[in-house]
Structure 1
Amino acid sequence: MSISSVVHGGSAALGRELAGRHQALSAPYTLTRHPLLERQDARESSARSYPRRIPLALRRAHGIYVEDMEGRVFIDCLAGAGTLALGHNHPVVVDAIRQVLDDGLPLHTLDLTTPVKDRFVQDLYEILPPALAANARIQFCGPTGADAVEAALKLVKTANGRATMLAFHGAYHGMTQGALQLMGSLGPKQPLGGLQQGVQFMPYPYDYRCPFGQRGDAGVQAGLNYLHTVLTDPEGGVPAPAGIILEAVQGEGGVIPAPAAWLRGVRELSREAGVPLLLDEVQSGFGRTGKWFAFEHGDITPDVVVLSKAIGGSLPLSVVVYRQELDLWQPGAHAGTFRGNQLAMAAGSATIGLLRRENLPAHAERMGQRLMQGLRQLQGLHPQLGDVRGRGLMVGVEVIDPDAPRNRLGHPAAATAMARAIQAECLRHGLIIELGGRHGSVVRFLPPLIITEAQLDHVIEIFAVAVAAARRALQRASQPSPLAA
């Protein structure tokens, strides 16, 4: 069965309707505020984030499309921050959820097993790299990736009795207090005080803004040499760590893929030092980067893997998979009332099954190359598009100010206002994207993995129009008013 038939089979009528009504490229939207948004503003916490940048009240969705309460249709290239591997309301996911309900299976089981849970674990183990699956244990956690990160920290600290963790500049591992300690961004941590206690931050191989002022292999080797020093220098001031945690592709940090040589080097150094290596695959896992898991681009086997988002087939679920030798904690050492989400496990199995049958990781690789090729063509027209990077359908465009002075390392200035203007113009033209990275200057693309070539070309077309419109708007804003003259 082809990608096209999977996308348009089953409940395809809604998908065709929404696709046919996506006319915002020729008739841009005026984004009025629906009463639902007004009530949300009045009642929800100030901590809410997405509605501030994407002020939509949604009512229907299918595949890559969402429709808001005003009847406006958008292409969703945020996809639940990577959760919706198969897009919205995919028939295989809906059917799996309906089957659980029709069979009368318990919906809440804590960590008691069921046929649905047993099937899910088998399906997950079948896509793990054999070297990991052969000697792996699994811990079901609360329904968020952050809770799985918390569990992973407790796991390795229990196993070796150490307290310090090594994390990396630009990292994002969740917003709970323990996970927040590992975050590279200072903003969310400042109101909470001394959260960096027990965490040492290492430089990540960010080639476009290398902290050593080097690029390519030289920058990679400089980072590995620094990590080696931290792990081995008895006068370095850093205690032997309980673990090293990293993302093989940083997502919220700006879509920064780690070179394969760096991943292999970190694995070698951690093994030599006897320090567990933890890979956070919450956003990058399940085929998004062109392989089942992003760490496979480095041909390494980590000691611990943290999984969430797409693992539940769009429903809340998270797990930690780890080497059996680390399984030294006691019963109840990590728990969570909703760790037995049967609907999510059924949806997760259905998602894994379709990803395998359709070889969607390979499709994501091809579509990602197509997306980056189109975006790089736009670089020749717009010097504000400083860098295009990514793996598979996890792609980022770093927006810069080409006219501003560079810093002492030769790095260009971030253009936050331009990035925000691009995001706003994308929304007006029917495309939902998100920002991330340093100063919020990286436009991020995380479309569903079932996106077709034609749909992806339409995304590139919308983005091209949005960038040109944002440039014109900022140029007009920077010109002096005739009245002032």
Structure 2
Amino acid sequence: MAVTEPAPAAATAAHEGILRRQAQRESAARTYARSLPIVPVRARGMTIEGADGRRYLDCLSGAGTLALGHNHPVVLEAIRKVIDSGAPLHVLDLATPVKDAFTTELFATLPRELADDARVQFCGPAGTDAVEAAFKLVRAATGRDGLLAFTGAYHGMTAGALAASGGATDVRVTRLPFPQTYRCPFGTGGERGAEIAARWTEHLLDDPKGGVPAPGAMIVEPVQGEGGVNPAPDSWLRRMRDITRDRSIALIADEVQTGVGRTGAFWAVEHSGVVPDVMVLSKAIGGSLPLAVIVYRSGLDLWQPGAHAGTFRGNQLAMAAGSATLAYVRENRLAERAGTLGARMIAQLQALAADHPSIGDVRGRGLMIGIELVDPEAAPADVTAENGCAPPPDPALAAAVQRECLRRGLIVELGGRHSAVVRLLPPLTLTDEQATAVVDRLADALRAAERSSHRRTAAGRPADPGSLTRKTP
């Protein structure tokens, strides 16, 4: 697989100038720009064209925001229609025809048991705003401040959302084990590991000496994204629903990245049949524009007027784009296609692993796929009944693969505890040909990275994982 063609000198100079000014002017907290030094100027579907004239297949999709890819015709038409109508673009939380249409379409996609008894709160532009709103909602409704969250979780970058994410130290948030097959914390993996994790949770909550602050809610991702693409086992998620229901604890499903068909069901909780008390929604529901909501059971709707507000709750363009996206995914059964195509890609990547010991695990659900890269020559880091001896993660190799992918015109993301998981989040409109190209380019990039002497430090040891860690803003 050849790398992308060299760009003309003038285009390259303009491209490099923009990147140089960005580095000089923008915050040290910038993330994607560090590992993806491109300057997008045009995009359509899965393809991005940079200022240097090079084209890329985008498997980042705005961190899962672009369910239909870039500039899909139905999204652009919906936006133009609002602009041409003369409708106000900013209305706080006032009722509008655009908002009514969005809410109607959203409720049509929800699990029926929730939709029939649901309320919706428009929270602000980002998923982290919706997470904060969900916490405020359940604390107001239950009178309890305690929160249950899971190891490896990621819920956003505001203070409350970070407190519930993996690595935080907020003592009000109780950390529970999230089941994993490849790196099971109990050394078993599979159904047995999930069962132990569920029993641990149940015992801890019922132990009068467990030290758990009275919890108002449990928040869980049906598939941990930033945590390394770890799907929650369906049986385990059902146990979490039973455990929370029996103890009057609200169950919050964070569907910010998994929602709108990404995992092969419209909402990822539908795989398990679980109906949560609260759903946190953002990213794809705005059709590429900023929008975040929570949907919850009416019995929780006990907060006072003005208890949660925000200036940008009434983004009419985002609601129009979101309505068009939700309807298109539903009418064209893109969730079902994501499940079929994702399973095919996972199988192809697992076949690739047979020839590459540096691929420790391939996992995911639908078009939310992760490839964990490891150092097969190092001493095992984890031992499980399912996978035997799992080598330690290799973040330096993952970073090298990401760079080689970019050289071949493929944009990928890194995630996981050590940034050693190559993540694929292509749009749901991915064609069969594009799916094949993604796997082929990734395979070629892996071969090149494995041969490269630059993926390790001069001492021959992997680069510091902390220097590679990145989170979704």
| Structure 1: gaps spanning 5 or more residues | 1-24, 190-194
- Residue 407 (structure 1) shift: 2.8
**Aligned partner of 1:152: which letter?**
A
Match of 1:401 in 2: 375
- Matched with 1:286 is 260
What is the CA–CA distance in structure 2 between the aligned matches of 1:476 and 1:450, rounded to whole Å? Answer: 33
Please name the residue that 2:399 is paired with: 420
Q: Kindly indicate whether the alpha-carbon contact (under 8 Å) linking 1:137 and 1:324 is maintained by their aligned counterparts in 2.
A: yes
Distance 1:29 1:478, change over 3 A: farther
Q: Secondary structure at the match of 2:164?
A: coil
Structure 1 residue 197: Cα displacement: 2.7
Residue in 1 aligned with 2:320?
346
In the other structure, the counterpart of 2:130 is: 148
Residue number among 204, 222, 229 corresponding to 1:230 in the alignment = 204
Task: Please state how far the C-alpha of 1:451 moved relative to its aligned partner.
Answer: 0.4
Counterparts of 1:480 and 1:276, CA distance in 2 = 50
AA partner of residue 65 (structure 1): T
| 1:327 partner amino acid | D
Deviation track 1:282-332 (CA, whole Å, cap 9, x = no partner) reads: 000000000011111111100000000000000000000000000010111
**Kept in 1: contact 2:400–2:455 (CA 8 A):** no
| 2:243 aligned with 1:269 | yes
> 1:179 corresponds to which letter in structure 2?
A
1:356 deviates by 1.5
- Tell me, yes or no, if structure 1 residue 210 matches structure 2 residue 184: yes
Deviation digits for residues 362-411 of structure 1 (CA, Å, limit 9, x no counterpart): 11111101110111111011110110000000000000111111136444
* Counterpart residue number, 2:409: 430
- Specify which of 26, 32, 56 is matched with residue 2 of structure 2: 26
Say which of 459, 462, 465 aligns to 2:441: 462
Give the residue type in structure 1 aligned to 2:107.
Y
Aligned to 1:179: 161
Could you say which residue in structure 1 is the equivalent of 2:426?
Answer: 447
What percent of counterpart residues are identical? 54
* 8 Å CA contact 1:30, 1:428 repeated in 2: no
Cα distance between partner residues in 1 of 2:299 and 2:81:
37
Cα displacement (A) at 1:153: 0.2
Using the TM superposition, give the Cα deviation of residue 478 of structure 1 relative to its aligned residue in structure 2, in angstroms.
8.0
- 1:167 matched to 2:146: no
By how many angstroms is 1:459 displaced? 0.6
Q: 1:73 aligns with which of 27, 41, 55?
A: 55
Unmatched 5+ stretches in structure 2: 384-388, 461-473
**Which amino acid counterpart does residue 207 of structure 2 have in structure 1?**
D
Query: 1:480 Cα shift?
Result: 10
TM-score normalized by structure 2?
A: 0.93
Structure 2 Cα separation of the partners of residues 478 and 163 of structure 1: 46
**TM-score normalised by structure 1 residue count:** 0.90
CA gap of 1:456–1:239, structure 2 versus 1, over 3 A, is same
- Tell me how far apart the structure 2 counterparts of residues 480 and 132 of structure 1 sit (CA, whole Å): 56
Quick check: 2:4–2:54 contact (8 Å CA) kept in 1?
no
Determine the C-alpha separation between the residues in 2 that align with 1:62 and 1:463.
21
* Amino acid in the other structure paired with 2:318: A
Partner Cα distance (1:379, 1:432) in 2: 20
Q: CA separation in 2, counterparts of 1:154 and 1:207?
A: 33
Residue 14 of structure 1 is matched in structure 2 by none
Tell me the distance in 2 between the aligned counterparts of 1:142 and 1:223: 34
Partner residue of 1:382 out of 356, 369, 375: 356
Q: Could you list the structure 1 runs, at least 4 aligned residues long, displaced by more than 4 angstroms after superposition.
A: 29-33, 475-481
Contact 1:29-1:428 within 8 A present in 2 as well: no
Query: Which secondary structure state, in structure 2, belongs to the residue aligned with residue 264 of structure 1?
Result: helix
Count of aligned pairs = 449
How many angstroms apart in 2 are the aligned matches of 1:197 and 1:169?
A: 14
